[in-house]
Amino acid sequence: MGKRSQKSSVLMVCVGNLCRSPIAEAVMMDVLKRAGLQGEWHVDSAGIEGWHCDRRPDERALNVLARHNIDYNGRARVLIPEDFLMFDYIFGMDRSNLAELKRMTPDYATAKVLLLGDFGLKPDERIIEDPYYNVGEAPFEKIYQQCNIACHHFLKQALRNQIM
């Protein structure tokens, strides 16, 4: 069986694209790199709301990523209707994100809209909570850990074509 000629693609989405989705994007890229698959996948992130367009992620998110030796240079952008055609998988971080993504999904969409935490996380840990209004970096570290588990499990399932 030959290699796919087109890259697979993932879009991580949260409300403002400052905390959770940039961490998820960076972690997914790191997981792919460690698996030697970075050339076969396109990974990006976006926000449902456009309040922070073109801003760098929250400093606490960048600090956590740096502690895990992950460089991240992305900037916030807003989700656009074309994303539902351009990406194979669009992941929300919590139930509210997922509901909004499903509401926004155009009829012609080809992307699978999923909850990232549904991959490998225990039922009571599946929601990746918004840390923006919390103090300190501990909530961001928790997000990193959740994303790391979820991205590994997602990739395993995606490579086995087991994602509905």
Residues in the chain: 164
Q: Which of 94, 130, 147, 151 is catalytic?
A: 130
Is 14 annotated in the active site?
yes
How many other CB atoms sit within 10 Å of the CB of residue 4? Answer: 8
Tell me how far apart the alpha carbons of residues 110 and 89 are, in angstroms, rounded to a whole number.
9
Q: Which of 19, 20, 30, 147 is catalytic?
A: 20
Give how far Cα 155 sits from Cα of 116, 139, 149, 158, Å.
Answer: 11, 24, 10, 5
Per-residue burial over 123-134, b = 16 or more CB atoms within 10 Å of its CB, e = otherwise: eeebbbbbbbee
Q: Which of 14, 19, 147, 151 is catalytic?
A: 14
Is 20 annotated in the active site?
yes
Q: Which value, in Å, is the radius of gyration of the alpha carbons in the chain?
A: 15
Is 83 annotated in the active site?
no
Tell me how far apart the alpha carbons of residues 62 and 95 are, in angstroms, rounded to a whole number.
24
Please name the residues in contact with 158: beta carbons below 8 A apart, sequence gap of 6 or more: 8, 89
Positions marked catalytic: 14, 20, 130
